[in-house]
Amino acid sequence: MRHYGHLSPEQRQALFHQEPAEFGPSSPVRTLGVALGATLYSPATRPALAADIRKQAAAGVVSMVLCLEDSISDAEVPGAEDNLVRQFHELLGRGSPPAGGGPGGGGGAAGRAAGEAAGELPLLFIRVREPAQIGSLVRRLGPAVRLLTGFVFPKFTAASGPGFLEALTGAEVLCGQRLLAMPVLESPELLHLETRAGALRAVARVVDKYRHRIPALRLGVTDFCSAYGLRRGPDMTAYDVHLVAGVIADVVNVFGRADGSGLTITGPVWEYFPVHERMFKPQLRNSPFSGRAEELRSRLIEHDMDGLLQEIELDRANGLLGKTCIHPSHVAPVHALSVVTHEEFSDAADILGTGPGGGVLRSAYTNKMNEVKPHRAWAEKTMLRAEVFGAARDGVDFVDLLAAGLA
């Protein structure tokens, strides 16, 4: 799969100076963490889940989480598990699961069919409630486990994390394939001032032992807000809620370092998609849309997307990449703003093309200085993002990319 793979080769050639590269479930974990992009969450109770997954893949979604946790009620869990197993077998093209399930095998026609099906699908993760669900689901999925990339672990702490990760290791042995983990940091002890530093350090020790299985850490900002009875409105970003902004900064401080120890940290969920009565003026300037996409600007404002676009920019400025999404309309904005601009690509190439001696370069765009040593880590991260999201042609901006993604 690749980002913007749903566009024609001619469309991609018109948009990209460097096209997005292909990746898949077996790609390096660091690459997958950057490539996740807009991770679309869906309740595991959806009766047409398999069809939904294929539809979203055709629209450019490359990662999805099928949720057995907060998106469904406690009473729905058994039925949701049954539905999930059934839908995975439908995706595999095998109809109903075989009696008794059983671990997935690696060869034969079933293995080939699974590989072909997986090539058409997003990276699929299951969000579980408790460690026992991991092995149980892997057994019940049988050959269809080959379509699974990994699991999402909610309310991850130093106390709960090892149980999830040990269950994941056991499930890998059971099914004979790599399974990845995405912990969600959302528990009160990671938020409360008196416990935050110690709790984050303790989580870091757990994560470090399993970093080869962790493409990204996810932030559960809704749970953080819940601890204080807060909820941000559609005219505000997570960074306007100072309590949340503070914990995001501390999470990045511990887990987002550029010294080789850092992990991808994904942006918080944007909760809004219907039309709301606005209190504040739209945040999207007219000038980027002037003369070519005023209708697109109006559409974004009507659906509160101007706030989402601002939050995506603030995510990246604060060290986050990708985003948890609950509505398909959020995917294109996340991906459009993840593509490396031609200016960023030019600056990063110049910095990395200079020897270790350092120095200062004037940007080819003649609007900034590039300090080789201080900006090298930024340049390396930018080039990794360009590898998976591509680098735009000179003159192509996020409006062009957004329009293509929404077409």
Residue 255 shares a structural domain with residue 384: no
The DSSP secondary structure of 104-116, one letter per residue, reads PPSSHHHHHHHHH
Q: Of the residues 318, 339, 360, which one is the last residue of a structural domain?
A: 339
Is residue 47 domain-shared with residue 150, that is, in the same domain?
Answer: yes
Same-domain status, 278 and 193:
yes
Domain membership of residue 161 as a residue range: 25-339
The predicted structure's pLDDT at residue 273: 72
Residue in the block written with tokens 């991770």: 39
Residue 297 is part of a domain; what is its CATH number? 3.20.20.60
Backbone angles phi, psi at 403, to 5 degrees: -60, -40
d(CA 182, CA 254): 17
Q: Is 348 helix (H, G, I), strand (E, B) or coil?
A: helix
How many angstroms separate the CA atoms of 129 and 78, rounded? 12
How many domains does the chain divide into? 2
Say if residue 346 is in the same domain as residue 323: no
Identify the domain boundary among 339, 356, 373: 339
272 & 394 share domain? no
Six token digits for residue 328: 């398909």
Which tokens go with 201? 């350090």
pLDDT tens series, the chain, 407 aa: 999 999 999 999 999 999 999 999 999 999 999 999 999 999 999 999 999 999 999 999 999 999 999 999 999 999 999 999 999 999 998 544 444 444 444 434 444 344 444 457 999 999 999 999 999 999 999 999 999 999 999 999 999 999 999 999 999 999 999 999 999 999 999 999 999 999 999 999 999 999 999 999 999 999 999 999 999 888 889 999 999 999 999 999 999 999 999 999 999 999 887 555 544 555 555 555 555 566 665 555 555 577 888 999 999 999 999 999 999 999 999 999 999 999 999 999 999 998 778 899 888 888 899 999 999 999 999 999 999 999 999 999 988 998 888 87
Helix axis angle, 77-92 relative to 108-118, nearest 10°?
A: 100
287 shares a domain with 386 = no
179 and 322 share one domain:
yes
272 and 349 both lie in a single domain: no
Cβ distance 190 to 157 under 8 Å? yes
Which pTM was predicted? 0.88
Same domain, 286 and 394: no
- Residues 80 and 145 occupy one common structural domain: yes
Picking from 313, 339, 365, the residue at the C-terminal end of a domain is 339
Say yes or no: 262 and 224 in one domain. yes
Domain check: are 374 and 240 in the same one? no
